[in-house]
A and B are shown apart, each in its own frame.
Chain A
Amino acid sequence: MNRRSRALALAGALALAAAANPSGQGRGGAPGPQLDLSVSPASIAFASADPDVSPIVAAAPVVVTVRVRQNPGPWTLTVLAGGDLIAGPATVDITNVSWTATPSPPYQNGTLSKTVAQRLASGTGNVNPAQNGSVTFRLANSWNYSAGNYTQTLVFTLTAP
């Protein structure tokens, strides 16, 4: 194998490797799903409120932008909490946080879980151009919560197929 053929072989191998990358590009020349996801703002906050006056506390709506291309099959958007709401030694069970989402379909209402990713939206085929969804998270307010500033991480995951 001369220098030229070695270079061709190397280029071919690199091309194969690139085609196998996990960013959504398919293999064997057939392009795989291309997914884009953004969630804004990056922080969701519940203000303190009197449970008698506000038994449910709503956060400002979150805009979720989804774009799905080159996708012949289903796609799913899920959300998973990293755990319960935590403020030092105090916790609030994450199942006290639910959400309402529009438009429906593809979005659906649900309740957060720290163990199983919950479906926030789903569909089939492409979503192109990108489509915005509005998600409003709601906290079931209670006198039983200890005072504190609670935090937790939410992971939104868009997958196909």
Chain B
Amino acid sequence: MIVSRRLLAAMIAWTAAAPGARPAAQVSTTTLSASVSTAAKLNLSTASVSFPDADPDIVPQIPTVGGPVLITAKSRANPGMQVVLTVQAADDLRSGVSLIPASNITWTASGAGFVAGTLSKLAPVTVATWVGSGVRTGTQQLYLRNLWTHPTGTYTVSLLYTLSAP
């Protein structure tokens, strides 16, 4: 009997303290997910550049007409991974049977991550490097080493720019 009274009293006390005063609530949980893939997008301000004829004694390094190339590199990379922009010549500069080695083209650069370099037909040469995702801009000023020994002619070569974001 005493036990029953205590039980009853305890239950009534619990009832009074029960969360009936709390607002009614219903909860539903969902999962939000987003897929972000690696990606790279490269934009050059011009699709072609040219070096004018010049006296080698006066202009030993001929800059391109129109000034530097503006480069915009957009990339999405995995965290901490290095994003690399390279350039490689498809061949030497050629004019019929005459040629000027691709290594006669050099460049200076401006912008975070951009570096100066010398063109090669044998391997890609680094133009810029960064870490991680982002949009980067910079300039590349190409120069042709001007020599009296270059055969006359109109020379052309294709340059391949590659932006990689692992």
Q: What is A's interface to B at a CB cutoff of 8 Å?
A: 1, 6, 9-10, 13-14, 16-17, 19-24, 26-27, 32-39, 41-48, 50-52, 57, 62, 81, 85, 87-90, 92, 97, 137, 139, 143-161
A62 and B132 CA atoms in complex are apart in Å by 33
Question: Which of the candidate stretches B8-16, B52-60, B141-149 sits at the interface with the other chain?
Answer: B8-16
Contact A38–B8 (Cβ < 8 Å): no
- Using C-beta atoms within 8 Å of the partner chain, give the interface range for chain B: 35 or more
Q: Is B45 an interface residue (CB 8 A)?
A: no
> What are 9 A-B interface contacts by the 8 Å CB criterion?
A16-B11, A21-B20, A22-B20, A35-B26, A48-B35, A87-B36, A150-B34, A158-B27, A158-B28
Q: Which 5 A-B pairs have the closest CB atoms?
A: A20-B20, A20-B18, A24-B24, A13-B11, A37-B26
Q: A154 with B39: in contact, given A6-B4, A13-B15, A145-B76 (CB under 8 Å)?
A: no
Contact A44–B39 (Cβ < 8 Å): no
Q: Is B96 an interface residue (CB 8 A)?
A: no
Q: Is B152 an interface residue (CB 8 A)?
A: no
